[in-house]
Structure 1
Amino acid sequence: MSPKESHIKRPAIPQKPSTPPARRIGISYGAAMLCCGLVASALAWALVVPTSVTAKPGTVQLGRNLFQGNTSSPDVTVFYGVPYAQAPVGNLRWRAPRPVATSLFAPTKVIDATSPPLPCIQGTTGGGDAGGAGSEDCLKVNIYTPSNATARSNLPVLVYIHGGGYTYGNPVNWPFVHWVEQDPNVVVVSVYYRLAAIGFLATPELANPAVGDLNVGFLDQVEALRWVQKNIRAFGGDPSRVTINGESAGGSSVELHLVANEQPSLFRGVIAQSVYRHTLATPEQKREQFQEFARRAGCATGGPVAQLACLRKAPLTAIAPAQDAKASYDTPYTLWTPVIDGKVIRDIPSTLLLQGRFKRVPVIVGATTNETLAGGDTVALGLKNFFPQLTEGDITDLERAFPASDYSDPFIVQTVTGASSVRCARDIFVKGISPHENVFVYRYNQPNPTSHQPGNTAHAAENWMMFGGTNTGFNGTTEFTGLNALIAYWLSFVRSQNPNTHKLARSPSWPSTRSTTRLVLQEDRAGSTTRSGMVVEEEPADEVAMCAEVVRKVVPEQH
């Protein structure tokens, strides 16, 4: 999914004090997380309906509490770690997020929001990292707002949901200071949500509200959007003009919000980057994974209800290594991902899109040129791992649909799985949504020069352009030229639901499509800083045919 956190280590802007390092959970920390002191701290964070922006620079008043933001940038104030829900610890593990308390007992205090909080507990990211870094008290948002914004500014809002395979990710690694500096007509919110087993543990018993809840990591995102509706005006935002954006697992999350049973709608536009179009399992299909997780965490005794009670008392030193155990090849039944719960997530997103069962909002959707995902030793095994319901005949049909030239690629397995799971999601969006709403399609074609495959525009390559290279020294004049054009398209869409309204003058018009037209996002190949390298193209015929076969397999691959 998205690049590992270790690939983007710098803070968004100079911090006061320095960014707390991600750290491994120790026994004393685990015990502290479960103690009653956190209940008191939740009350101390209590928020009520926003009142006003104070006269003191860099502060916002929410209820009785005054939040002091980071003012290192003269033009942007960042409020780090503002809580949108109670800490999901102890008996609140694997339960839907509880809104931040509005207790009258909350003291009047100044809250330091100048430094990023610890991320949610991380799952393994490979490379010998056993996961477990972070904090369970993580249901928070970072808010980037123009320094001169007031409660009456009514600026459109971008809510960003990070990627990382629903397993890892720290929103501070997707900084937005330079976005708001470029266009001070928006407010940006980035969301922390529960990950890996803590966010996406599933077994049929969790469908019983008396026992717990399914998809709590996704429900965290929903609660964050509800918090935005109630509180973003205090930071200068307009709750009626919210656009949601995400890449990889974040793009998959955005797709889920588009089709989820959320009432009322909490956004008016969607930007879905490299949508990870995987099979969603049922809770029953996750039962074996649950049992293995419980066994590894020391909670093998009794039935699932008793095991959940044990797991809620287990220290994080037991939870973290238990959630990292996986099959040699990931499948929908061994990954920590959302499940079909029959309530909020009613069916496979691709199916719902093609059936017209989604929120009627305009969409930007796209993928990189060389989307690649791992999946197995052969094309057939890779497709079977991603879509276990496919028959041998289905797999043969898909193999034949890929151009012969692809099979000379040494990364053919990754190419095929990446195309069927990510690239062709664009075509599903167009087929399902374009008859009802504007759809703006793109192909991102700018390789990440720091990648081990610098010639390929691989999965998540746009993160380097949009975030990763911003403060690392890799971006030169040409790169910043491409970055500014891309940001202008994105924020124009946030402001007007059309990427063309506030685009840069040198950038081409981006047509909405009901067919195969798309915009290629790339730098000028000659290195010009005044001429755009972006062009409008038609999707090649062999790619159209390939994705058409993928669309035909949506039902058999997921049911």
Structure 2
Amino acid sequence: MFTLLNIALFSGVAIAQAVSIGPTVDLGYVTYLGNQSYPNTVAYLGIPYAEPPVGNLRFRATVPLNTTRVTEEAKGEALVNATYYPDFCIQGTTGVGDAGGAGSEDCLKVNVYSPYGAKEGDNLPVLFYIHGGGYVFGNPRNWPFDSWINQSPNVIIVSIYYRLDSFGFLATPEFTDPTYGDFNAGFKDQIQALKWVKSYISKFGGSPTKVTINGQSAGGSSVELHMTANQGEQLFSGAIAQSVFRTPLPTPEQQQPLFQFYALYAGCGTGSVAKQMTCLRGASINALARAQDAAAQGKFSGLYDSFHPVLDGVLITGHPTRMFQYGEFVHVPLIVGSTSNETLSGGANISLALKEFFPSLTDEDIQEFLWLYPADEFDSPSQRFQVATGEPDVICGRQAMGAPSSLYSNTWAYRYNTPNPTSGADIVAHSAENWMMFDGTNTGPNGSTTFTPQTPSELAFASELVAYWLSFVRAGDPNAYKLDKSPTWEQYSETNPTRIVLMQDLQNLTVVSGSYMERQPVTETVRCAFAISKAQACEN
């Protein structure tokens, strides 16, 4: 493996000589040196796709990369080092008492994983990955794709960094005038990264017309938003939405109390919005990190206490669940699903949890939800809580997106049913598949993670999952290049809601699949139909 060398010191070395140092890619404005992580795999890490959102660009829409600036900053060097992970974006708290604030504002980068020897003209399909973390935290380094390329060296994978928490999603009604700031800056980062891919992925051997967007949790929510947002051009040809975070999309007016709290806590609470924004752009990262954490840790008493995407009326013009029901989304092949037992709510009181997650629900709405989840239908109060909150929080995204999608495009649904073996629990919780698909990762606060070694049977199951995912990327069909041992994944539709249960073989064998097909239970279909009907009240 080629490790860190200060390639920038090799001033005057000819490109032909430098190539022998390691794999390179010439983007026309600069040549990057990559890291050969496997004999057949190259990782180009930390490649900028936009201008650094610092100084006056803080809280503003993404600015396309100034390639002339990048060329000039390379100062004629033969190669620019792209063999190490970049600084991740400023983190918020994970909500378990930790402080956020780690990272950098200069974080609008991508990691590109490609087969060794891939070149322009190969036109390989592209997977574009959007990480999760509630739009508040997340570090792409914690979800590496080297092993995916090693298994299937016929795709290009792009993993992106985008602004998080207040840095990416600060909102107040005055932002309708961009003099003050811009709505949904973090989501606009994602769009700009897709545009960069369209312009430059061919240099890595990829096809700009064969791009599948994929994300988990907030990344899954982002996929849903890309399918419904008014982006002006089609930037992808397929979509994979994992455990869609069905968070409310408030209006800027509903977010205004949070803005005022944040500005006050950061020391910028007085004067006009113009003066507040000038103050916030001059504030230290430490002050802003403390302010955004304070809101999430209970010091703010308003209903909307998180910095998330908002209905800006221009880019995001409606609640995505409702738009899906009316066919107002990009019609591309889709995979959508969730884990078996996930919820994003805590506590034991269903009513309070629903009200906290969906602040606009009325007491009547909540009573209607409770009526659908009678206690005598569940094994325990904890199971009832998990299902009654987990379905509207996450699980019903499968039906909300999958049923409308199946009317226009080939659609597949799944239920992931293997616990994270390091969790100490039998339930298949939110993000359980990430541990399996990404080298045993368990993420922690401030961009950290712990990787746990995987057994041969776990590695075999991970390979089965990756094969399905990358088959979809390559062919728009998870079955085209699945493993021979894997079952055929039947399509999902509103009239025939069949889904695959993705599951490790219970005997821990490496040559047998534990996955199988099932029909979505009628009770789940009825409950999710109700949750979908409440999209306006849930604001999702």
TM-score, with length taken from structure 2 = 0.91
Report how far residue 505 of structure 1 moved. Answer: 1.0
The residue identity in structure 2 corresponding to 1:73 is Y
Q: For residues 503-536 of structure 1, what are the alpha-carbon distances to aligned partners after superposition, in whole Å with 9 as ceiling and x for unaligned? A: 1111111111213200000111122221211100
Question: Structure 1: which 5+ runs fail to align?
Answer: 1-12, 19-51
Structure 1 runs of 4+ off > 3 angstroms? Answer: 54-57, 327-332, 403-407, 411-415, 470-474
SS at 1:365's partner residue? strand
Which one of 328, 331, 342 corresponds to residue 357 of structure 1? 328
Cα separation, partners in 2 of 1:328 and 1:96, compared to 1, 3 Å:
closer
The residue identity in structure 2 corresponding to 1:500 is N
Structure 1 stretch displaced more, 341-350 or 120-129: 120-129
SS at 1:326's partner residue? helix
Matched, 1:72 2:37: yes
1:199 matched residue in structure 2: 168
Instruction: Supply the distance in 2 between the matched residues of 1:510 and 1:94 (Cα, whole angstroms).
Output: 43
Report how far residue 296 of structure 1 moved. Answer: 0.9
Matched, 1:390 2:378: no
Native 8 Å contact 1:205 1:305 kept in 2:
no
1:40 matched residue in structure 2: none
1:9 matched residue in structure 2: none
Instruction: Supply the distance in 2 between the matched residues of 1:543 and 1:402 (Cα, whole angstroms).
Output: 10
Which one of 195, 220, 236 corresponds to residue 189 of structure 2? 220
2:9 matched residue in structure 1: none
Structure 1 stretch displaced more, 107-116 or 468-477: 468-477
Aligned 1:297-446 pairs, distance under 5 A: 297-326=266-295, 333-375=304-346, 377-402=348-373, 404-406=376-378, 408-410=380-382, 412-446=384-418
CA RMSD of aligned residues (A): 2.2
Cα separation, partners in 2 of 1:396 and 1:279, compared to 1, 3 Å:
same
Structure 1 stretch displaced more, 107-116 or 89-98: 107-116
Matched, 1:527 2:498: no
Question: Structure 2: which 5+ runs fail to align?
Answer: 7-15, 442-449
Instruction: Supply the distance in 2 between the matched residues of 1:55 and 1:133 (Cα, whole angstroms).
Output: 35
Matched, 1:469 2:440: yes
Matched, 1:95 2:67: no
Instruction: Supply the distance in 2 between the matched residues of 1:522 and 1:135 (Cα, whole angstroms).
Output: 38
Instruction: Supply the distance in 1 between the matched residues of 2:62 and 2:378 (Cα, whole angstroms).
Output: 45
Report how far residue 475 of structure 1 moved. Answer: 1.3
Instruction: Supply the distance in 1 between the matched residues of 2:326 and 2:97 (Cα, whole angstroms).
Output: 43
Cα separation, partners in 2 of 1:527 and 1:376, compared to 1, 3 Å:
closer
The residue identity in structure 1 corresponding to 2:414 is Y
1:277 matched residue in structure 2: 246
The residue identity in structure 2 corresponding to 1:354 is Q
The residue identity in structure 1 corresponding to 2:76 is T
Instruction: Supply the distance in 1 between the matched residues of 2:3 and 2:220 (Cα, whole angstroms).
Output: 29
1:8 matched residue in structure 2: none
Q: For residues 392-444 of structure 1, what are the alpha-carbon distances to aligned partners after superposition, in whole Å with 9 as ceiling and x for unaligned? A: 22211211212533372326434422211110111111232111111100000
Instruction: Supply the distance in 2 between the matched residues of 1:294 and 1:450 (Cα, whole angstroms).
Output: 40
SS at 1:286's partner residue? helix
Instruction: Supply the distance in 1 between the matched residues of 2:365 and 2:351 (Cα, whole angstroms).
Output: 10
Q: For residues 322-378 of structure 1, what are the alpha-carbon distances to aligned partners after superposition, in whole Å with 9 as ceiling and x for unaligned? A: 111125679871111100001111111111111110001010000000012225551
Aligned 1:217-256 pairs, distance under 5 A: 217-256=186-225
Instruction: Supply the distance in 1 between the matched residues of 2:179 and 2:59 (Cα, whole angstroms).
Output: 11
Structure 1 stretch displaced more, 208-217 or 87-96: 208-217
Report how far residue 267 of structure 1 moved. Answer: 0.2
Instruction: Supply the distance in 1 between the matched residues of 2:435 and 2:226 (Cα, whole angstroms).
Output: 26
1:482 matched residue in structure 2: 461
SS at 1:410's partner residue? helix
Instruction: Supply the distance in 2 between the matched residues of 1:63 and 1:148 (Cα, whole angstroms).
Output: 18
The residue identity in structure 1 corresponding to 2:218 is A
Report how far residue 128 of structure 1 moved. Answer: 3.9
2:127 matched residue in structure 1: 158
Aligned 1:174-185 pairs, distance under 5 A: 174-185=143-154
Instruction: Supply the distance in 2 between the matched residues of 1:425 and 1:223 (Cα, whole angstroms).
Output: 26
1:34 matched residue in structure 2: none
Cα separation, partners in 2 of 1:461 and 1:17, compared to 1, 3 Å:
farther
Which one of 476, 493, 496 corresponds to residue 475 of structure 2? 496
Instruction: Supply the distance in 2 between the matched residues of 1:144 and 1:534 (Cα, whole angstroms).
Output: 28
Q: For residues 98-122 of structure 1, what are the alpha-carbon distances to aligned partners after superposition, in whole Å with 9 as ceiling and x for unaligned? A: 1111327723222110000010011
Instruction: Supply the distance in 2 between the matched residues of 1:532 and 1:145 (Cα, whole angstroms).
Output: 28
Instruction: Supply the distance in 1 between the matched residues of 2:190 and 2:131 (Cα, whole angstroms).
Output: 11
Native 8 Å contact 2:335 2:411 kept in 1:
yes
SS at 1:220's partner residue? helix
Instruction: Supply the distance in 2 between the matched residues of 1:85 and 1:78 (Cα, whole angstroms).
Output: 19
Aligned 1:439-458 pairs, distance under 5 A: 439-453=411-425, 455-458=426-429
Cα separation, partners in 2 of 1:290 and 1:411, compared to 1, 3 Å:
farther
Matched, 1:82 2:47: yes
The residue identity in structure 1 corresponding to 2:473 is V
SS at 1:60's partner residue? strand
Instruction: Supply the distance in 1 between the matched residues of 2:252 and 2:2 (Cα, whole angstroms).
Output: 44
SS at 1:398's partner residue? helix
Structure 1 stretch displaced more, 462-471 or 505-514: 462-471
Instruction: Supply the distance in 2 between the matched residues of 1:136 and 1:412 (Cα, whole angstroms).
Output: 42
Cα separation, partners in 2 of 1:85 and 1:264, compared to 1, 3 Å:
same
Report how far residue 276 of structure 1 moved. Answer: 0.6
Count of residues in correspondence between the two structures: 513
2:76 matched residue in structure 1: 108
The residue identity in structure 1 corresponding to 2:59 is W
The residue identity in structure 1 corresponding to 2:420 is N
Matched, 1:543 2:511: no
SS at 1:206's partner residue? helix
The residue identity in structure 2 corresponding to 1:501 is A
